[in-house]
Structure 1
Amino acid sequence: MKKIRAGIIGASGYSGEELIRLLLRHGECEISFITSRGYANKDVSEVFPRFSHLGLKFIEPDLEAIKSYKCDVIFLALPHGLAVEFAIPLLNSGHKIIDISADFRLKSKEQYKKYYKEDHPSPELLNIAVYGQPEIYRDSIRKAKLIACAGCYPTSIILPLMPLLKEKLISTNNIVVSSGSGISGAGRKVDLPYIFPECNESFRAYSPVKHRHLPEIEQELANSAGINEIKINFIPHLIPMNRGINSTIIADTETTDISLIKKVYDNYYENEQFVRVLTPPKLPDTKNVFMTNICEIGFVYDEHTGKLIVASAIDNLTKGASGQAVQCMNIMFGLKETTGLT
């Protein structure tokens, strides 16, 4: 079988590095080119020494040069706001696009402007893009030309809540989410709040209101619940570790039967290779999902407050970004979903 030819635009960040790692071991895919404005013409091993055997150089993100590689799929691993520059011309030239940024995740241009403080540069693409959460939108992903990969925090929240909302086992009101992320979630940049002396021996909340992932989370939770709008409290925290996300969710419920909740989770996820549902009272641990494409889910019922407490753990760079992108690629091209990911 002919291998899938893949290109990566913006591969010098952590998500780009993770994407290279996963595609190198994929078996059914080969990397045709890797771009970086900052490292153009440098060997990839100069930036990521672990890829010394790759023999590839970063190239300038020149559209005509990119098109000349005749790739089957192109991954966009760019900072916010830059994906449109490449997505439109590459879609017009027949390429399939998988975007790891947040540029196409929201369906509402008004919400985009509210949270990103600017008009969306190509609002017509918002309804064309398929939200890249394979466990929910697998059939749409299979036929998609443009995939907007689900974000890291959203993945850790949507996957544990979707079955409960669909089956109306929890209230859509008063949902509170407390999430913690490793430092790599802030990106590969030199920025004072994220350097070692500031983060080590530290645990702090940030952006407890109007976090940019909030509208994405609420959009997908509302879809799961079958309602127009849902509002949650989402409080992210920075954890002094390299990678991983743990989300703890508190929701009102009238269901005290833990076995029923477990049965619902099993019905939704028993055939999913990348969702692991734990038996109460076991709860997720980021160590269990380190460098994997797995989302681990656990839950307990608190008799004292009548609340359901649900927790999840993912690797923010794998299931929260590049692993999910590869999973989407596998679906698009009719491959086994686990290819290159187990």
Structure 2
Amino acid sequence: MGCPVGIGPEIILKYLHSTAAKPAAPPVIIGDAAVLAATGTALGLSLPLHLWHPGEPTVPDRLNLLGVSHLDPTTLIPGRPTQETGTAMAVAIDTGISLCLAGHLAALVTCPISKAALNLAGYRFPGHTEMLAARTGAKQVAMMLAGDRLRVVLATIHCPFREVASLLNQPALVDLVRLTDRALRTDFGLRAPRIGVAGLNPHGGEDAMFGREEIDIIAPAVQQCRELGLDISGPHPPDTIFYQAAAGRFDVVVCMYHDQGLIPFKLLHFADGVNVTLGLPIVRTSVDHGTAYDIAGRGSADFRSLQSAVTCAVRCAANRHGGNRSGTEPTQL
């Protein structure tokens, strides 16, 4: 459900009430019954509640809920997280991870949380990704943003721009590309992923005129991956590679820093982008936006990113578990 005082409850209810394509089996909502009920009342959206338990099927045309907290909505202020809401949010995440690891659920789709709310609850993680990696024991994870026209994977994520160059190295880039290739094959069903790698500097360094990272780090990593049999090219100038990817030349672009990938991605997929965590033993997707505390409680949140995240999770779970060969979907999310 994400943060109880963010837009998570709102976009869940809007998605469940929409006429948009949904998976064959209704998803399980892990969260708080009272918060969802209060949100439904405020939005004028009602849906009969079914209290779901692990091992049971979900029920069509119901809000299939696994309640993990008992908050009092009358004491909550939209956009104002507390220790209590932070704890409820974190427990929901932990519960979802455990159910996926145990095989009760096929994939985990997360609504937005915030670092501040996690910290209020005593969880010292910057966000979902780090918490998921720690809870599942994943040794290497990466962030992919996925849409119908563009996929990007980030070599560095949340750090000051001045630190990006010092964080890049050949072994880490090779590991990232190999992880990306495996994920595209296993979860996205691509037999031979085409990987483009962006340079760091303007014009790809212009033969070291504007920097040596392309020559000393990125190009050797690309060559090593090519020798391993991957369909990869680069480093390409950052000002042209995204146009080529959106036109169909690449299945994914490996980007050197956060905004290099997120700016073109959000230009194309601002409303329907999906955040996918690579390297986990479970399938995890997420909305590609934050808690939107500034509009929480106003009824104006857009649910399309959640819709895309569920659709992506269904496809990834089916591919990973062989459902694409039988034409079936996973039973529960």
More helix as a share of residues: 2
More strand as a share of residues: 1
Q: Same fold (TM over 0.5)?
A: no
Q: TM-score, normalised by structure 2?
A: 0.37
| Larger relative contact order (CA 8 Å, sep ≥ 6) | 2
